[in-house]
C-alpha cells in the first residue's frame, strides 16, 4: 500500500493538513492511535494571539482561513462567532490592552476598547470595578472533534483514516504501525504531545491544562472572556498558572479554563487546581458560584520553549515533515499550518513566511 503522504495523528492539525494536501490532488492516509488529544480535550477557541509577530501572523492568517471554512461547516461543528473580550482588571492592564489594540491594528485585525460602563453593558454578569476590555469581534470558537471529522470527509477518495499506533517512521517513507506498514512519498508527523516518541529530537513538552464545563445557561454570557493575564500565563515555561477564560458554547454551556502546569504528563484531575481556577473564575464573574459543573477533565498541550509550533521539513531525516507543538492554539492555527505544509510539500510559495516555525530554529540557538 502506498500513498503520496502518510500523516501520523488525526487531530485538528493532522486533519487540516490532510484536507490541504488532498486539495492539491495528493492521496493521504492518516494513522491515528486514538489517544487522548488536545483537539478533543481543548476549548476549540479561535483566538488571535499577538505575543510576537510570528504568532500574530500564524493566528491572523488562520482566522482568515477559518472564515472561508465557516459557511461550509455543518452545525455540529459548533461555530460560534462570539468574539473575545480581553479583560483588563485595572489601569495597568488597560494600558496593556491599548498596546495590544495597536499591535492588532498593524496586522489589520479589528478591535475595540470597551470602557468599564460599556463592558458592564456587554457582559452584565462580570464583577464591578473592572477597568474595561478589548473586544476582538473576529475571534470565534468551534467544536474541534467535529471539525476534524468534517475536514476528513471533504475529499472522499483521497483521504483514508486508519486507526492504529505508529511505532516507527523509517527514512524510506515506511510507517510501521500496529496495523501494518504503510508506505508514502512523504510522512508528516502531527502527533501533538506524542510526537517526540517518533522523533526524539523534537523539543516538545507537555503543559497540562484543566477544563470545567457547566450545564446549559443559554444567552447569559455572550463573548469569550479572557483575562489579559492569559497571554503571560500561556507563555510560562515552568510552574503552575491560572488565567480565567470563560467560553460560551452554542449549547449555552460555559467552558471554563485555563490552567497551565508545565512538565506534567498525566491527565489526573487535581481538585486543588480545579478549585484555584474556579475561585478566580467566580471572582471575575460572581454569578458563576451557583452554576453547576457537569464535568471536569485535564489534557496535555504540546508546548515548545518559544511558544511557536514546529512546521516544516525535518532537517536531517529524509521525507519527514513536522506539524506539531501548537500548545493550546492548535485549533486556531491549524488552517495556516496546513497551508504552509501543503505549499512547502508541493513546492509552492507559502502564504506567509515559514522561517519562524522551522525546526532549524532550535539548532541556531546556543
Partner 1 sequence: MNAATPALVTVRIDGAAITVPEGTSIAAALARTESGRARLSVSGKPRAPFCGMGVCHECRVQVDGVQQLACLLACRPGQEIRTDGARLGSVVSAPSSEPERSCDILIAGAGPAGLQAALAAAGSGARITLLDENPAAGGQVWRSGPHHRVPDAAQALLDALERHANVTLICGARVVARAGERALLVETATSAWVQRFDQLIVCTGARERLLPFPGWTLPGVTGAGGLQALIKQGFKVRGERIVIAGSGPLLLATAATARLAGARVLHVAEQAEWGEVVRFAASLWRWPAKALQALTLIEPTYRAGSLALAAHGGDRLQAVTLRIGGRTREVECGRLACGFGLAPRTRLAELMGCALQTDGAIAVDAAQQTSVAGIFAAGECTGIGGNERAQAQGRIAGLQASGQAAKVAALNRETATWERFAAGVQRHFALRPAVTERGDLDTLICRCEDVALGALDGCDGWVDAKLQTRCGMGSCQGRVCGTAVQALKGWTPTAPRQLTEPVRLATLASVAHEQALASPHDFLDASAHTPLK
Q: Is 70 in the site for partner 1 (CB under 8 A)?
A: no
**Cβ-based nearer residue to partner 1, 283 or 363:** 283
Which residue is listed with cell 475561585?
A: 279
Q: How far is the CB of 225 from partner 1 (least distance, A)?
A: 13
Q: Is 296 in the site for partner 1 (CB under 8 A)?
A: yes
Q: How far is the CB of 281 from partner 1 (least distance, A)?
A: 7
Among residues 71, 129, 200, 290, the one that binds partner 1 under rule CB under 8 A: 290
What is the C-alpha to C-alpha distance for residues 98 and 104, in angstroms, rounded to an integer?
10
Pairing between strand 28-32 and 159-163?
A: parallel
DSSP state of 61: H
Among residues 73, 269, 343, 354, the one that binds partner 1 under rule CB under 8 A: 269
Cα–Cα separations (whole angstroms), residue 153 to 37, 76, 157: 20, 14, 9
Q: Are 39 and 30 in contact (CB under 8 A)?
A: no
What is the C-alpha to C-alpha distance for residues 264 and 292, in angstroms, rounded to an integer?
28
Judged by CB under 8 A, the number of residues near partner 1 is 68
Q: Is 288 in the site for partner 1 (CB under 8 A)?
A: yes
Cα–Cα separations (whole angstroms), residue 143 to 37, 73, 150, 285: 14, 11, 11, 24
Q: Is 159 in the site for partner 1 (CB under 8 A)?
A: no
What is the C-alpha to C-alpha distance for residues 354 and 33, in angstroms, rounded to an integer?
29
**Cβ-based nearer residue to partner 1, 92 or 176:** 92
Cα–Cα separations (whole angstroms), residue 293 to 150, 219, 267, 275: 29, 17, 19, 12
Q: How far is the CB of 280 from partner 1 (least distance, A)?
A: 7
What is the C-alpha to C-alpha distance for residues 256 and 213, in angstroms, rounded to an integer?
6
**Cβ-based nearer residue to partner 1, 202 or 285:** 285
Q: Is 51 in the site for partner 1 (CB under 8 A)?
A: yes
What is the C-alpha to C-alpha distance for residues 329 and 286, in angstroms, rounded to an integer?
28
Strand partners, 257: 245
Q: Is 300 in the site for partner 1 (CB under 8 A)?
A: no
Binding region for partner 1 (CB under 8 A) out of 9-17, 113-121, 266-274, 320-328: 266-274
Binding residues for partner 1 restricted to 175-234, rule: CB under 8 A: 212, 214-218, 220-221, 227-233
Binding region for partner 1 (CB under 8 A) out of 96-104, 107-115, 182-190, 349-357: 96-104
**Cβ-based nearer residue to partner 1, 180 or 218:** 218
Q: How far is the CB of 330 from partner 1 (least distance, A)?
A: 16
**Cβ-based nearer residue to partner 1, 145 or 173:** 145
| DSSP three-state, residue 177 | strand
Q: Is 363 in the site for partner 1 (CB under 8 A)?
A: no
Q: Is 295 in the site for partner 1 (CB under 8 A)?
A: yes
Give the number of other Cβ atoms within 10 Å of residue 117's Cβ.
Answer: 9
Among residues 19, 93, 139, 327, the one that binds partner 1 under rule CB under 8 A: 93
The three cell numbers locating residue 327: 500548545
What is the C-alpha to C-alpha distance for residues 102 and 175, in angstroms, rounded to an integer?
47
Q: How far is the CB of 292 from partner 1 (least distance, A)?
A: 4
Q: Are 4 and 186 in contact (CB under 8 A)?
A: yes
Question: Which residues in this chain contact partner 1 in the complex, by CB under 8 A?
Answer: 34, 40, 51-52, 76, 89-90, 92-93, 96, 99-100, 125, 145-146, 149, 212, 214-218, 220-221, 227-233, 235-237, 239-244, 251, 256, 269, 271-276, 278-282, 286-298, 306
Amino acid at each position: 500500500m502506498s500513498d503520496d503522504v502518510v500523516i501520523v495523528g488525526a487531530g485538528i492539525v493532522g486533519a487540516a493538513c490532510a484536507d490541504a494536501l488532498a486539495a492539491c490532488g495528493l492521496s493521504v492516509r492518516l494513522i491515528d492511535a486514538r489517544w487522548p488529544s488536545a483537539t478533543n480535550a481543548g476549548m476549540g477557541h479561535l483566538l488571535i494571539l499577538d505575543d510576537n509577530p510570528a504568532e500574530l501572523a500564524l493566528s491572523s492568517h488562520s482566522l482568515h482561513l477559518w472564515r472561508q471554512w465557516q459557511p461550509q461547516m455543518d452545525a455540529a461543528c459548533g461555530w460560534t462567532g462570539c468574539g473575545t473580550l480581553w479583560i483588563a482588571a485595572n489601569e495597568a492592564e488597560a494600558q496593556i490592552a491599548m498596546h495590544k489594540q495597536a499591535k492588532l491594528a498593524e496586522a489589520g485585525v479589528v478591535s475595540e476598547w470597551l470602557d468599564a460602563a460599556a463592558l458592564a453593558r456587554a457582559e452584565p454578569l462580570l464583577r464591578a470595578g473592572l477597568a474595561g476590555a478589548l473586544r476582538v469581534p473576529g475571534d470565534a470558537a468551534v467544536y474541534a472533534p467535529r471539525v476534524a471529522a468534517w475536514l476528513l470527509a471533504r475529499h472522499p477518495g483521497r483521504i483514508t483514516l486508519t486507526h492504529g499506533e505508529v511505532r516507527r517512521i523509517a527514512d524510506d517513507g515506511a510507517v510501521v504501525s500496529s496495523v501494518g506498514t504503510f508506505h508514502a512519498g512523504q510522512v508528516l508527523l502531527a502527533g501533538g504531545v506524542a510526537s517526540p516518541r517518533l522523533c526524539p529530537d523534537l523539543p516538545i513538552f507537555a503543559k497540562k491544562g484543566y477544563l470545567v464545563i457547566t450545564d446549559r445557561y443559554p444567552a447569559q454570557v455572550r463573548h469569550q472572556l479572557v483575562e489579559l493575564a492569559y497571554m503571560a500565563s500561556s507563555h510560562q515555561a515552568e510552574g503552575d498558572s491560572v488565567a480565567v477564560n470563560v467560553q460560551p458554547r452554542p449549547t449555552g454551556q460555559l467552558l471554563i479554563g485555563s490552567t497551565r502546569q508545565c512538565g506534567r504528563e498525566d491527565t489526573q484531575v487535581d481538585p486543588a487546581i480545579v478549585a484555584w481556577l474556579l475561585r478566580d473564575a467566580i471572582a471575575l464573574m460572581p454569578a458563576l458560584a451557583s452554576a453547576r459543573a457537569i464535568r471536569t477533565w485535564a489534557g496535555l498541550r504540546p508546548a515548545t520553549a518559544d511558544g511557536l509550533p514546529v512546521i516544516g521539513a525535518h532537517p536531517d531525516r529524509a521525507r519527514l515533515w513536522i506539524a506539531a507543538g501548537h500548545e493550546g492554539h492548535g485549533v486556531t492555527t491549524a488552517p495556516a499550518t496546513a497551508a504552509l505544509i501543503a505549499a512547502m510539500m508541493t513546492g509552492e510559495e507559502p502564504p506567509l513566511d515559514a522561517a519562524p516555525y522551522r525546526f532549524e530554529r532550535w539548532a541556531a540557538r546556543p
